[in-house]
Every structure is written in structure tokens, then in C-alpha cells.
Structure 1
Amino acid sequence: MSAPSSLLQGIALLDAAVVQERSGRQGHNASRLSEATGIERSRVSRLTRELLDLGYLERDDTAVFHAGDEYFRAAGALSRPWLRAAREDLRVLASRLGVSAQLMAAEGPGAILLRSEKGPGVSADYLRPGIVTPIWCTGPGRALLWDHTREELQVLLDDVQFVGVGGPGAARSVDELHGLLERDRERGMVDAHEEYVEGVQEYALPIRDDQGIVASIGVSGAALSARRVREARGALHDAHAHLTRLVQEP
């Protein structure tokens, strides 16, 4: 397996810092971030400096890291009325279909999870609000790329490490990703099989306002029967239509 890219290691560090901060326990300094993520100490120092410069992390007088202004700016859409209202749509999807339902927004080559709900008995511990995942290998993440051309994908993902990231069905190059998007557009919906987590099927759609794609909605769970797939796609279309109306309201 190839070494993780700087992007993915940076995402891991940011996620570890935010999770620790939200837990109410003492925050992580560089040494504890290294222990929590398994990333060597010297690399943690370099990457956290970059995250500090970009504003995603802040460091206090005790050298403990906290979420920075840019992190909260990226998640700031949580204050929008349509996104608060989306909680009920996600709950209905999750409980009706027995899946997890998510809303995501783009953050460079990553996708930030804005909100999620899980159906009864669904185990998806990796879905924590605020987590940033690679945008190309989750269903809702790829929905955020729906309007991207091949050239735009190349620019966005020029520095990412495809190999070794995601599940067995994940794209391993920009060309593979572009091919999956072309197929999704023909089908009218993102259909991602084992692209982020082995054994998980995902369906997703982009949500637009008058400026373009602002978020995506998706569901994920174990492989479904043909009848349940039709039900899931129909329910997702209904939720997507409702949220699109809310997003586009003046």
C-alpha cells in the first residue's frame, strides 16, 4: 500500500483534534496527535503548521490544538434554515430504509459531513459530524463533483494519493473518477458500491441553489435487494426535491 498523502494525513490530524476537543477531555498537542493518528512526530509538526497557516487549527498557550476559524467557516452552513430543517428528512430516510443518511459539503479535495442520522441498528461510527473525508470515494462526496469537467477534477485532485484510499470499488485515478461520474450522470444519481467502506452501498444527489452545488444528500448501508434499491432511490429523490426547494427559497 502506498504511503498516505499529505491531504489524508492532514484530514486525520484535524479530525483527531476536533474529536478530542468535542469529547470534553484535555486536547491534543503535537505528541498526542502523533500517538492518536500513528503519524510520525516530525510529519505532525509540518502538517499542523500548514493547518495553522490555513486557519483550520489554532494552538493555545499550552500547545494544545483546537478547531480554527476556517474549520467553523466550512461548517457554518449548519446555521442555515434549510440545513436545520434537513434533520427531519434525514431521520425519515434513515428510519424508513434502515440506512445512514448524510448531508455533505465540499471543502477543497475533501467533503465535510454537515449532518447525519442513522436508522435503528445501523452501525456507522465513522460518520461523525464535522469529519472530513476524501471527496472522490464516498457517494455524497462524488455528488459534490457532479458538475466538474475532467480538467477541473485534475486541478482539484492533482496532489491526492488515490492508491490505498477507500474501499475496493474506489477510483484510483482522475480518469477512473471521471468515468464513474459520467456513468452516474447517465443514471441520474451517484451509485457507489464499496467505494469508501467495504460492503457498503451508497446513493447520493447534489443539492443546488442559484449559484451551483451547495451540498449533497446521500444514504449508505448494506447491499439492498432490487425492490429496496428502487425504494431507496425514490425516497432519496423525494428528500432531495424537498431540500432543493428549501435551499432555493429567498
Structure 2
Amino acid sequence: MSAPSSLSQGLALLGSAVAREQAGRSGYNASRLADATGIERSRVSRLTQELRALRFLHRDEDAVLRAGDAYFGIAAALDAPWLKGARQELRTLASTLRMTARVCAADGAAALVLRAEAGIGAADASTRYGTVAPIWCTGAGRALLWDHSSEQLADLLRDVQFVGVGGPAAARTTGEVHALLERDRAVGVISAADEYAEGMAEFALPVFGRSGIVASIAVSGAPQSSRRTRAALTALHEARDRLSASASDQ
């Protein structure tokens, strides 16, 4: 069995801290959190520091760890009526196109899956709620950057390690990310083939609310015929327009 990833361990720590708080019991410090999750203390120390830096955890004056602002921000987003309505949109896309459909939100240089549905036979059926992926080499991620200027991209991706991440067609510099955005904005849809995983094609669009981009919607799967690709793009645009209209009304 492979070792647990930093992501799975970080989620375990966050989940344990939140569950303790929801139960109305005294919160955990890092040491007790290590005992509760079975994760070694040195690793808990490092991961909780990262979670605090990302504002998913907050440490009070007694060193007790509690849910932070970013956690509550995502929780609030998940309760948004338009996002609840997105579930049916994703199910329809997944079942009719036999692809994986997802709605994502930006989390720094990562794209966070808020909702996902996989169609029968979908090639990338493993996507789950809470999955994070690079924002620069996924279709859903790049759609979140739709209105970013080259200067904004440079600021966002300043500390990104491009090497070793993504598939054979993934961007390796901020300049390449910007060039892909310029290409896709010209045709009105994000197209990412072999960028995050080899053999996968992904199409995505930004979802707009009153204050700008609130999320992205994407479909992905194995490359298809031009006819089926056109059908997928039409369905994706229609679903995006309905979600944008709903998000703009709220």
C-alpha cells in the first residue's frame, strides 16, 4: 500500500479538528491532533502550519486548532443555491456525454472540485469532491484564470514548480500559460488536451456571478470525434449559461 499523501493527511487533520469543534468539545492542539489521527507529530506540525498559512486552520492563544476563514468560505460557497443546482447540470452532462463533469473554484494556484459527476464509461471517473489540481494545466483550472492579465498570472504563479507536474502538453512557464489563455479566449472555450493527464481531453468555461468569475464548469474524457466534441461544447455552453444566470441572481 502506498504511503498517505500530504493532501489526504491534511484533510484528515482538518476533518478531525472540525469534527471536534462541531461536537462542542475542547479543541485539539497539534499534539492531541496527532494522537487523534495517528499521524506522526513532526508531520502534523508541518501540515498544520501549511493549513494555517492557507487559512483552513486557525490557532488561538491556547494553541488550540480550529476551522479557519478559508474553510468557512468554502462551506458557505457549497450552500449557494446556484451550486446546489449545479448537481443536476453535471449529472445531465455526465450521463449524456459519457464524460466526467465538474464544477471547480480557485484556491490560490490550485483548482478545488466543488461538485463532480462521472458518466458511464468516463475515462477519468476518479474525480471526487475536495480534489485539488494545478490551476494552470487543467481545463477547469485555466477557466478560472479567464480574465487574468499576464501581470496577474505572474503574481499568482510566482512560486509554482512547473517541472514534473501535468501531462506532456502542460505549460512549463507562466508565459506559456498566458499564451494558452490567449488562444482559448479567442475561440471562447478552454481546451486542454494531454495537459494534466496524457490521453485526456478537457473543455471548460468560467461561471460568472455578480462580482465576476465564481467557478468553472468542465467536462473531460478520452478524445472523441469532431461531431461528439461539438455536441459536448454546445451542452457545456448551455449549462454554463444557466449556472451563470443563477449565480448572478443571488
Q: Specify if TM > 0.5.
A: yes
Query: How do 1:85-164 and structure 2 match up within 5 A?
Result: 85-124=85-124, 126-164=126-164
- Given that 2:99 and 2:220 are in contact with CA atoms closer than 8 Å, whether structure 1 keeps it comes out as yes
Relative distance call for 1:122 and 1:29 in structure 2 (3 A) is farther
- Length-normalised TM-score, structure 1: 0.80
Tell me which residue corresponds to 2:190. Answer: 190
Give 1:127 deviation, angstroms.
1.3
Give 1:211 deviation, angstroms.
1.1
The CA RMSD measured in Å over matched residues stands at: 3.0
> C-alpha separation between the residues in 2 aligned to 1:147 and 1:53?
26
- Given that 1:56 and 1:70 are in contact with CA atoms closer than 8 Å, whether structure 2 keeps it comes out as yes
Tell me which residue corresponds to 1:62. Answer: none
Relative distance call for 1:223 and 1:178 in structure 2 (3 A) is same
> C-alpha separation between the residues in 1 aligned to 2:33 and 2:190?
37
> C-alpha separation between the residues in 1 aligned to 2:92 and 2:166?
28
Tell me which residue corresponds to 2:9. Answer: 16
> C-alpha separation between the residues in 2 aligned to 1:72 and 1:167?
33
Relative distance call for 1:194 and 1:72 in structure 2 (3 A) is farther
Tell me which residue corresponds to 2:24. Answer: none
Deviations 1:91-122 (A, max 9, x none): 00000000000000111111111000010132
Give 1:138 deviation, angstroms.
0.7
**Consecutive unaligned residues in structure 2, runs of 5 or more:** 17-31, 60-64
> C-alpha separation between the residues in 2 aligned to 1:171 and 1:184?
14
> C-alpha separation between the residues in 1 aligned to 2:182 and 2:224?
23
Matched residue SS, 1:247? helix
> C-alpha separation between the residues in 1 aligned to 2:75 and 2:111?
11
Counterpart AA for 1:13: S
Relative distance call for 1:122 and 1:146 in structure 2 (3 A) is same
> C-alpha separation between the residues in 2 aligned to 1:226 and 1:195?
19
- Given that 1:184 and 1:191 are in contact with CA atoms closer than 8 Å, whether structure 2 keeps it comes out as yes
- Given that 1:14 and 1:56 are in contact with CA atoms closer than 8 Å, whether structure 2 keeps it comes out as no
Equivalent pairs: percent with the same residue? 51
- Given that 2:123 and 2:221 are in contact with CA atoms closer than 8 Å, whether structure 1 keeps it comes out as no
Work out whether 1:245 is the aligned partner of 2:245: yes
Higher relative contact order (CA 8 A, sep 6+): 1
Work out whether 1:214 is the aligned partner of 2:207: no
> C-alpha separation between the residues in 2 aligned to 1:148 and 1:15?
30
Query: How do 1:69-88 and structure 2 match up within 5 A?
Result: 69-88=69-88
- Given that 2:111 and 2:132 are in contact with CA atoms closer than 8 Å, whether structure 1 keeps it comes out as yes
Give 1:55 deviation, angstroms.
3.0
**Consecutive unaligned residues in structure 1, runs of 5 or more:** 1-11, 35-40, 60-64
Query: How do 1:227-242 and structure 2 match up within 5 A?
Result: 227-242=227-242
> C-alpha separation between the residues in 1 aligned to 2:123 and 2:189?
24
> C-alpha separation between the residues in 1 aligned to 2:244 and 2:53?
35
- Given that 1:17 and 1:33 are in contact with CA atoms closer than 8 Å, whether structure 2 keeps it comes out as no
- Given that 1:102 and 1:116 are in contact with CA atoms closer than 8 Å, whether structure 2 keeps it comes out as yes
Counterpart AA for 1:76: A
Counterpart AA for 2:151: E
Tell me which residue corresponds to 2:173. Answer: 173
> C-alpha separation between the residues in 2 aligned to 1:144 and 1:122?
23
> C-alpha separation between the residues in 2 aligned to 1:236 and 1:218?
7
Relative distance call for 1:213 and 1:175 in structure 2 (3 A) is same
Larger radius of gyration: 2
Matched residue SS, 1:46? helix
